[in-house]
Amino acid sequence: MEKILLLVCVSFLLTVPSNAISSCNGPCKTLNDCDGQLICINGKCNDDPDVGTHICKGGGTTPSTPPPSGNCPLSGERSCKEKSFPTKYKCSPPVTSSTKAQLTLNDFSEGGEGGDPSECDEKYHAKSERVVALSTGWFDGRSRCGKMIKITASNGRSVTAKVVDECDTLHGCDREHGFLPPCENNIVDGSDAVWEALGLNKDLGIVPVTWSMA
């Protein structure tokens, strides 16, 4: 009896068309294998990031990779030599009471690596000022300009700092941006004073932190 059932199952699988329409996370080989506005990504039908659909919750990730927070993928390496960035990030992970981020070091003073004056107040800021720039999504169209955020390092130390600039995730490699590549979408770009208040080694250049509105 078991052999008969097995033969029936095999026979059924062999008769299923190879281009059968699949729904979210269903198997696929071509775009035609996926239903509606879904596309085939890494052999699975998922949302089309170019269209911005949110039919599936996977966000275009493979089963072995957890979906990025808020359907906003973290950006990869960018190079000013190429000046070609295949993906632009208009969003950042959702802001919570303990938002995970990467703290980077920036010189907001005139002649510093930050380029033009800070976007919020059109001013330069000394290294001794506790100021930060936020990734485009968190900067939220200048809505956080002048507001204070609380940054907490893995060593348990915290500091408050004022938002004065945007860490642009869409543009870069020009004079306005100090000829630096676009930012990742999870960046809190802090001044020397921020790093010193947190007791962090500035030579590291980038460290994991959490932040929230103060």
Cα–Cα distance measured from residue 11 to residue 187, given in angstroms and rounded to the nearest whole number: 54
Q: Are 109 and 127 in contact (CB under 8 A)?
A: yes
Q: How high is the pLDDT of residue 82? A: 52
3-class DSSP state for residue 190? Answer: strand
Q: How high is the pLDDT of residue 202? A: 95
- Segment 179-200 shows an average pLDDT of 89
Q: Are 202 and 107 in contact (CB under 8 A)?
A: no
CA angle, 16 then 21 then 26, to 5°: 95
Helix (H) or strand (E) holding 138: helix 136-139
Buried b (16+ CB within 10 A) or exposed e, 51-83: eeeebbebbbbeeeeeebbebbbebeebeeeee
Which amino acid makes up residue 143? S
The string of pLDDT tens digits covering residues 106-163 is 999 987 766 678 999 999 999 999 999 999 899 998 999 999 999 999 999 999 999 9
Higher pLDDT, 90 or 182: 182
In sequence order, the 6+-apart residues with CB closer than 8 A to the CB of 64 are: none
Specify the pTM.
0.60
